[in-house]
Amino acid sequence: MTARQIPHRRRWIRWIGVGAVPFLVASCSREIRSDTSDEPATERRLSLVDPSGAEAPASGYAAFLYSERDADVFTLMPDDEQSGGGVPIAEIHAEVGDRVTAGQLLATLRDEVPQLEVERIRPEVEESRRQLERLEELHASEGVSDAEYEEGLYANQRAEAALKWAELYLSRTRVTAPFSGVVSRRYVRQGQVVDETAPLFRVTSMSPLRARLLVPEGDAGRFTEGGAVTIRDAAGRSKSGVVIIVAPTVDPGSGTREVVVEMKDVGEFRPGASVVVEPEAGP
């Protein structure tokens, strides 16, 4: 290598070194930049965006609305030799979306077998009652022994118990709503064979609605039982609610306390909707 080539090589090395510095600095800055999305979920307060596009203040807690009265409805017909492993549905009386009251008929099952059982036992009950009345008269005049009277008494009790069971069995062919609400699901069809293990309907009460919050321990003091809250949905609608439960303990895994709020005037709010709950400022 000549003497003239050496300075040229040194200049090339210096250019590489100087040009690489911004590249390395830029790379490091991307690596060490903090990412706020990595904050623990329990420490972030969530908010919704209203229809105008303006984000609501990030001071609420995200949750889902649910109904405390929300249950699947089953038939109570026992799976035994009388039902033959199941009972066909004779008629459907309610559809999804129908409002129902407690005790309202939802479906009727085939009832020939329990109806015949009731008709078979009723004469036996009547006969046992007449026999018991005769024994009571004879027992009063010492015409029969105590043992004979007691046998007639027990026979009558057994017959009446059998009739009560048959009537209960018959009543279970009528599937009714456990409480007032809306039929939110229908799982079965007319003619389908069902037993006590499979749900037939789901009934959901639309009011009141509740929301369960997991509030960081440090923020739990914002909620007190009986305190007012504001509940907002994704459409920007809001309703007032009240705190009904503040858990006395802290979950050690998440560092949160459970808070349950309730909304009685639900308006357009529906079970399952996502909402943000914010405690209202005290007086």
Strand pairing report for 99-100 and 181-186: antiparallel
Phi-psi domain of 226 (left: phi exceeds 0; alpha: psi -120 through 50; beta: other): left
Average pLDDT over residues 222-235: 95
Query: What residue spans in the chain does CATH classification 2.40.30.170 cover?
Result: 40-68+206-279
Residue 186 has phi, psi (to 5 degrees) of -130, 115
- Residue 257 or 32, more confident: 257
Q: State the pLDDT at residue 22.
A: 41
What is the signed CA dihedral for 213, 218, 223, 229, rounded to 10 degrees?
A: -60
Q: How confident is the model at residue 76 (pLDDT cuts 50, 70, 90)?
A: confident
Average pLDDT over residues 259-279: 96
Residues 160-199 have pLDDT tens digits of 999 999 999 999 999 999 999 999 999 999 999 998 888 9
Q: How confident is the model at residue 79 (pLDDT cuts 50, 70, 90)?
A: low
The top-level CATH class assigned to 70-204 is: mainly beta
Q: State the pLDDT at residue 2.
A: 45
Query: What residue spans in the chain does CATH classification 2.40.50.100 cover?
Result: 70-204
Is residue 268 predicted with pLDDT exceeding 80?
A: yes
- Residue 68 or 20, more confident: 68
Burial of 213 (0-12, 13-18, 19+ CB in 10 A): buried
How is domain 40-68+206-279 classified at the architecture level of CATH? Beta Barrel (2.40)
